[in-house]
Every structure is written in C-alpha cells, then in structure tokens.
C-alpha cells in the first residue's frame, strides 16, 4: 500500500482544488482502503457467526444445566402443605386479577406450582375488583368481560370457604355503561352471599338493586361490611330510597360496619337495636346525605359493645340528650368537619376504657368549647388515655389559652403520644407548661414519650430549647418519662444546629421538618382496602 497521503497534504485541511495527479492518487488510496474495509467486515462477520454459534451452544448447555439442576432443588422436596403455606403468606389482604401478582402469578411458574395453587382454595378467597370507567379502556366491554372471567375463576377455585370481597367503581352515577358493568359484576357475586365474610362495596347507588332482596338470614357469616355509594342526581334518589333496605340487617355475625359517604349511612343504616348491639367497630363517613347529629346519637346509644369508631359529625342543631355510656370503647376518631360540631357530641359521651382519641375540628375564637369539652369528657370518664391527636384549623388570634390547654393535658396522666397539627396549638405558654418537670403534681403528661407539633413561630427559640432539654433528660427520680421521639413540622432552620448542643442523636428529614428519635426506640409500625378488618382499614 502506498503512503496514506501520496498527494499534497494541504488538501486535507483546505478547500483547495486538487490537481489531476492528486485526484488519481487519492482514488488509488481509497480503492486500497475499501479492500481493507471489506476484509475487516468479512472477518467481523466470521467472528460474529462463530460467537453466535458459541452463544447458542452455551444457551443450550445452560438450559440443560438449569433443567437438571432443578431436579436437585430443595423446593422439589417441599411437601405440598409447606408450599401451600408459603403461597398463602405471599398474598395481600385482597388479591387483584393480575398475572403479575399472587395468586395468579403462582400459576405461571411450573406445572406443579400451578396445580398446587389451583387446588389451594385459601388462595382464592379474597379479591379486589376494580371496574374501570368507560373512557379508560377500548374496547371497554371486552375489558370488563375479562375482569368478570377472572372473578369467576376466583369464585370457582375458592371451594366452600368464606369470601372477602371488595368491589370498587369510581363512577358517580353519570355513565350508564359504567353502571351496567358494575351491576353485571355484582350479579356474579350475589349467588355466593352465604359465604360473604368481609364485604366492601364502593359502587354507584343504583347498582345496589342487585342485593336489595337479601336479608340478615341470607348472610350467615358476614362479619364486616363497608357500604359507600356515590351520589345520585335528580329524582333518582327518591326511587332508590323507597326500595332500598339495609340488606345486612340482623346478619347474626356482623360486628364491623362502615357506612360511607353520601348515601351509605342514610339509606343502609340498620333500624333494629339487635344489629347495633352486636357492632364493635363503626365508621360513619363524610358527606352523608340528610344525616343529622340526632342520627349519630341514636346509633351510638344502641352500640353498647362498641370498641372502635370513626365518626364524621354533621353540623346541625339537636335537642338535648341523655349521656351516652360506651363502656367498651377504646379508640375514637371524631371529625367535626371544621364546624365545631365535635364538642356537641363529646359533651354526651362517657368512655371509661378510652385509650386513643383523635379530634378534627375548628376553633373559631378563644371561646371555642372544643378544648373544654375534651377535658370534661376525660375527667367525666376517668379513662386511661394513652394517645391523643388534635387537628384544628385555628388562626393565631383564636388559639386556645395556655391555661385551658394546660388544664386539658393535666387530665392526661397516662398519655404516651401527643400530636398537635394544623395550627399554632403549641404556644409559648403551653411549651413552658410542658417544660416543668417537678413537682410531679405540676407536670403535664408525665408518661409522655412521643410528641409532634408544628412550629408556627408562636414561641421563641429559647423556649423550645428549654422544653427539649427538660423533657429529653428529666431528673432521674422525678417520675417523668424521657421523650424518645420528637417531631416538629415546619421547623425553623436553627433547630438542627441548636439541638446538637444537647448531645443527642438527631435526624434532619428536610430543611423545614425536624425529627428526633432516641437511639434504640422503635417507631410505630388505592381504593383497594389494606385490611379485611375495619381496624386496619380505617384506623391505621
């Protein structure tokens, strides 16, 4: 091969016109280079073909190796009963009709696993069915038919075991095609009503016509029911209310009842005292149509065995009522929808076993009755409250006085956890009151170990530092428990550096949210329900 540049080198770096002799030389060089490139490409193709052959041989060997190796796998020695237990523990509380999740994914591993999974009815007893809206899929009817085929497989494979069913649709009664598909799905589930154990229905109200003929005796093992129906427009509501009945009325095993938004509580509210007497867990949701405070009171009066409840308190007047003793209630969540209605209900309750209380409401001015009502409840009930959460949309000029807040917390001698949110509830006066660590009679919440509040600049930095110093390391013989966890939301930037002066471990989550957890302390542990029990699903 001639030199790579047997011509004027300046032609490479300029736009000069080459001489004929240079053109001939360049063409000869390009021809030689083309031949070299062809040889190289041919060699690459030979090597690639060789590599492909080697790879193919390797893959065949690996496939044979894996096949033979699997014969010696310990999984082959697992008895069917052990695999069944493993499969069952792979399940969520409610399975979905998805080939990427259990139990359907277990049927795609190998023939043995498929056979075991299909023959294990416990894998198919809990299902969450989400009916999409019509605009979400094309073709829509084909998608819904596929969902119903999956539902039928679950029902067929579940044997005769109790069923946990969640049926959900976000339709608000405006799309007839959506309503028809939900109704057809509920019609598939209805023949299995004697096996319903946990039933979650979050569907358009019109679809409930499928179950309106059922009565308590038709639901012999039903323990948990959630009814949440979307709103109905126009005159349709009159037709629904005239024909709808609480189909679970007098169900002998019903213990947990959730009446959700819009029409759950008003249309499907049980009327018989026997049903209410059996209820241990109760949820009355937000936005219930035509629901009055008197209706809530009438429910609670009959719930003598109630243990946990979440209630959205409607904002309307009611006549005076006798006290409502709930001797077994341990956990209560009240949502006054920021209309000061919680105080009205709190004034009626006697809860001697109350352990956890959450109140969500508004305080419009310094004279709001909410704080006094909570204090009166605790003193009247003499309950061993261990967790208290107050979420109140309050403006700085409407904050309750430090004296009223101190009086409230003096009644919480057994409190372990305190959460104050949505407003300047932690003021300088209250922070100073919490700083006191002796004498024990003057200490607020002496057993407090976890606290969370917001930094709304309602107290000076020194007051906060004094509080942290006093309650993180109280005197040994003071009888005051040291704080193990502190969370201050929207904390001012100084806090992390100032807090380091205490010599304690700290964790800075963001520049505006400060958290502290003492070393060695432990934290508390879609439309698809997270639990088959209302306790896990609603109270968390």
Q: Which residues pair with 311 in a beta bridge?
A: 284, 334
The pLDDT tens digits of the residues spanning 386-406 come to 999 998 876 666 778 888 999
pLDDT recorded at residue 524: 36
The pLDDT tens digits of the residues spanning 162-176 come to 999 999 987 765 667
Question: In this structure, what are the phi and psi dihedrals at residue 317, rounded to the nearest 5 degrees?
Answer: -75, 160
pLDDT recorded at residue 292: 78
Mean pLDDT of 493-515: 51
Mean pLDDT of 65-90: 87
Query: How many CA within 13 A on the CB side of residue 511?
Result: 1
Mean pLDDT of 476-495: 80
Above 80 in pLDDT, residue 462? yes
Within 8 A by CB and 6+ apart from 428, the residues are 402, 458, 459, 460, 463
Question: In this structure, what are the phi and psi dihedrals at residue 282, rounded to the nearest 5 degrees?
Answer: -135, 135
| Per-residue DSSP letter, 483 | P
3-state DSSP percent of the chain in helix, strand and coil, to 5: 45, 15, 40
% of the chain surpassing 90 pLDDT? 40
User: Higher-confidence residue: 525 or 186?
Assistant: 186
The pLDDT tens digits of the residues spanning 121-152 come to 999 999 999 988 776 666 888 888 899 999 99
Above 50 in pLDDT, residue 538? no
CB 532 within 8 A of CB 93: yes
The pLDDT tens digits of the residues spanning 281-339 come to 999 875 555 677 888 888 899 999 999 999 988 776 666 678 999 999 999 999 886 56
pLDDT recorded at residue 457: 79
pLDDT recorded at residue 30: 86
pLDDT recorded at residue 406: 92
The pLDDT tens digits of the residues spanning 36-47 come to 999 999 999 999
Strand pairing category for 281-284 and 256-262: parallel
pLDDT band at 509 (very low <50, low <70, confident <90, very high): very low
CA dihedral of residues 184, 188, 192, 193 (deg, nearest 10): 0
pLDDT recorded at residue 496: 63
pLDDT band at 4 (very low <50, low <70, confident <90, very high): low
**Residue 427 to residue 435: CA distance in whole angstroms:** 12
CB 210 within 8 A of CB 180: no
pLDDT recorded at residue 46: 94
The pLDDT tens digits of the residues spanning 5-61 come to 666 667 777 777 877 777 888 888 888 889 999 999 999 999 999 999 999 999 999
DSSP string, 100-157: TSTTGGGGGS-HHHHHHHHT-GGGGSEEEEEE--GGGSSSHHHHHHHHHHHHHHHHHH
**Residue 335 to residue 358: CA distance in whole angstroms:** 8
Above 60 in pLDDT, residue 213? yes
pLDDT band at 266 (very low <50, low <70, confident <90, very high): low
Above 90 in pLDDT, residue 271? no
User: Higher-confidence residue: 2 or 84?
Assistant: 84
**Residue 331 to residue 311: CA distance in whole angstroms:** 11
The pLDDT tens digits of the residues spanning 432-450 come to 999 988 888 889 999 999 9
**Residue 331 to residue 353: CA distance in whole angstroms:** 9
Mean pLDDT of 485-514: 58
pLDDT band at 279 (very low <50, low <70, confident <90, very high): very high
Mean pLDDT of 199-216: 88
């Amino acid at each position: 091969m001639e030199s790579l540049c047997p011509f004027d080198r300046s032609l490479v770096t300029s736009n000069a016109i080459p001489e004929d002799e240079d053109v001939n030389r360049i063409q000869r060089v390009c021809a030689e280079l083309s031949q070299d490139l062809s040889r190289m490409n041919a060699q690459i193709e030979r090597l690639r073909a060789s590599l492909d052959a080697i790879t193919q041989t390797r893959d065949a060997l690996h496939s044979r190796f894996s096949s033979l190796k699997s014969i010696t796998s310990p999984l082959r020695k697992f008895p069917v009963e052990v695999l069944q237990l493993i499969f069952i523990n792979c399940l969520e509380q409610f399975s979905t009709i998805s080939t990427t999740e259990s139990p359907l994914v277990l049927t795609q591993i190998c023939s043995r696993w498929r056979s075991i999974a299909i023959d294990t009815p416990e894998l198919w007893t809990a299902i969450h069915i989400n009916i999409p809206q019509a605009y979400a899929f094309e073709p829509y009817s084909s998608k819904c038919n596929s969902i119903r085929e999956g539902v039928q497989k679950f029902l067929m494979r579940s044997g005769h075991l109790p069923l946990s069913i969640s049926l959900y649709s976000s339709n608000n009664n405006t799309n007839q095609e959506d309503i028809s598909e939900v109704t057809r799905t509920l019609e598939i589930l209805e023949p299995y009503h004697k096996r319903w154990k946990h039933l979650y229905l979050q569907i358009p109200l019109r679809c409930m016509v499928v179950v309106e003929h059922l009565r308590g005796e038709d639901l012999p093992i039903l323990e948990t029911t959630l009814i949440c129906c979307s709103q109905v427009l126009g005159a349709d509501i009159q037709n629904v209310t005239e024909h709808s009945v609480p189909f679970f009325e007098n169900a002998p095993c019903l213990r947990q009842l959730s009446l959700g938004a819009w029409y759950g509580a008003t249309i499907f509210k049980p009327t018989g005292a026997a049903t209410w007497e059996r209820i241990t867990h109760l949820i009355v949701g937000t936005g219930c149509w035509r629901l009055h405070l008197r209706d809530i009171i009438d429910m609670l009066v009959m719930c003598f065995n109630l243990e946990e409840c979440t209630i959205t308190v409607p904002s309307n007047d009611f006549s005076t009522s006798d006290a409502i003793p709930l001797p077994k209630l341990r956990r209560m969540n009240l949502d006054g929808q920021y209309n000061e209605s919680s105080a009205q209900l709190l004034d009626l309750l006697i809860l001697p076993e109350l352990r956890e209380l959450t109140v969500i409401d508004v305080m419009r001015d310094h004279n709001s009755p909410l704080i006094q009502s909570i204090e009166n409840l605790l003193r009247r009930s003499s309950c061993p409250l261990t967790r208290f959460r107050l979420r109140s949309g309050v403006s700085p000029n409407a904050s309750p006085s430090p004296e009223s807040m101190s009086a409230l917390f003096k009644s919480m001698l057994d409190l372990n956890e305190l959460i104050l949110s949505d407003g300047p509830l932690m003021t300088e006066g209250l922070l100073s009151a919490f700083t006191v660590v002796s004498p024990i009679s003057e200490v607020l919440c002496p057993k407090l170990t976890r606290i969370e509040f917001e930094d709304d600049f309602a107290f000076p930095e020194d007051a906060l530092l004094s509080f942290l110093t006093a309650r993180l390391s109280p005197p040994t013989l003071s009888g005051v428990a040291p704080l193990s966890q502190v969370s201050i939301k929207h904390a001012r930037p100084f806090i992390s550096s100032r807090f380091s002066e205490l010599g304690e471990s700290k964790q800075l989550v963001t520049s505006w949210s400060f958290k502290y957890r003492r070393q060695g302390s432990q934290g508390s542990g879609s439309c698809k329900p997270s639990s088959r029990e209302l306790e896990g699903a609603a109270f968390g």
